[in-house]
Structure 1
Amino acid sequence: MSTTDTVIHIVDDEEAVRNSLAFLLTTAGFAVRVHQSATDFLAIAPNVSNGCLITDLRMPDMDGVELLRRLRAADAMLPAIVVTGHGDVQMAVEAMKNGAIDFIEKPFSDDILIESIGRAANRAAERVHSAAATEAVRQRIASLSDRERQVLKGVVAGQANKTIANELGISPRTVEVYRAGLMAKMQARSLPELVRMAMDIEFDART
């Protein structure tokens, strides 16, 4: 994965810190955006689909923990790293409880920060891949006919072909044909994979 695939969002109220971190990460090959306050970042967070966050814990308008809480509440959470000062460990632990994946104590070496950011960037890329895979499954589900959805519902419920056939008023052989069609349309290599796909998106035959 290229480091430029993921944008690193830096949130810190101190301009010198923002500029220093931005220079370091840009030099390391990351795409970077800086934000002077948690409020500024929250304003654009819902539109950030592929990124990760590095934020100071102590800021005047809103601290890092509250920022993470609000991101979670808005369903806009990103892989996040919090930067803490001496004595802020308890607050950092609170940040971890609210979704941060790592915290770094000041002063820290460039290598430690780069390594942590790399992990966060990988996590961000995994999130994007997972979201894309889920959307692909939803599109495949949407392509199914009503009858195929009914058969899929029975399959997910663990029903035998004969049971599904009795409920739908068709023959077991017809159910087998529908199941084969389901496997092809859903691009499932096995029955367990088909069931997992449906469960991952909380499939309901009525949707």
Structure 2
Amino acid sequence: MIMKRLMMKANEKVVIRIVDDDPAIHDSLGLIFDMAGMIVRHYYSGEEFLAADFLNDAGCAVVDLRMGGMSGLELQQKLKSAGCGLPLIFLSGHGDIETAVSAMEEGAVTFLTKTVTADKVMEAVGRALEGRRREADGVYALQERLETLSSRERQILDLLCAGLSCRAVADRLVISLRTAECHRTSVMRKLHCAGLKEFEALLPKLSK
């Protein structure tokens, strides 16, 4: 069950989303990304982006902070609430430091002004994609560790993640409590996790 959730798609395409209500920004950024050989998707509002985009496609999004309708920060919160880890690069024509700080605290890659150079844009996109790649590397590493578990250990891990206590696991599998606890310790050691909570904290990101 857990192994299935962590499977990654091979050869994922990298997509750059532009979410801005200014057509001129779409033209200028689109040209930069097209020249770099990137796949570009254009959205003119946060609502359109949420309704039409395939959020699990690898890549990142360049998002205007202030748009008609849903703001960039509101879009960020909706993605966060949905458990979506898509990297966001915020763009604004306003030098709003307080808003920029809020965006960064919520996990944005960086904050750029609309007068930014092409080199700075590509540098920010590079950081976003590198962060995404590191996350994917973490998925593969955890998947490899999961594959070292015995069938009994995988069974116990699934039951623990389902909310059963160690004693309940022992009763379910008709084994002693000490045996169940030893299996749990072995599982956490093989997964390089301090405990079940640490492992469960990884699942929302790793299961995408």
The structure, 1 or 2, with the larger RCO (C-alpha pairs under 8 Å, 6+ apart) is: 2
Question: Could you state the TM-score of these two structures normalised by the residue count of structure 2?
Answer: 0.66
Return the alpha-carbon distance in structure 1 between the equivalents of residues 123 and 200 of structure 2.
Answer: 36
Q: List per-residue Cα deviations over 1:147-197 (Å, max 9, x = no partner).
A: 7866xxxxxx9xxxxxxx9934xxxxxx9xx9xxx8xxx9xxxx95x1515
- Pairwise CA RMSD of aligned residues? 3.6
For structure 1, which runs of at least 5 residues remain unmatched after alignment? 151-156, 158-164, 169-174
Q: Which residue does 2:97 correspond to in 1?
A: 89
Residue correspondences, number? 170
Distance 2:57 2:151 in 1: 32
Q: Which shifted more, 65-74 or 25-34? A: 25-34
CA contact (8 A) 1:11 1:56 kept: yes
Alignment of 1:42-81 (within 5 A): 42-44=50-52, 47-81=55-89
The CA distance in 1 between the partners of 2:64 and 2:113, in whole Å, is 10
- The equivalent residue for 2:118 is 110
1:83 touches 1:103 (CA, 8 Å); kept in 2?
Answer: yes
Question: What percent identity do the matched residue pairs reach?
Answer: 32
Quote the offset at 1:138 in angstroms. Answer: 4.6
133 and 34 in structure 1: CA distance in 2 versus 1, 3 angstrom threshold: farther
Unaligned residue ranges in structure 2 (runs of 5+): 1-11, 157-165, 167-175, 202-208
User: What amino acid is the match of 1:120?
Assistant: A
Q: Secondary structure at the match of 2:121?
A: helix
The offset of 1:13, in angstroms, is 0.8
TM (norm. structure 1) is: 0.67
- Note if 1:40 corresponds to 2:48: yes
Q: Is the 8 A contact 2:20 2:44 kept in 1?
A: yes
Paired with 1:167 and 1:13, the residues of 2 have a C-alpha distance of 61
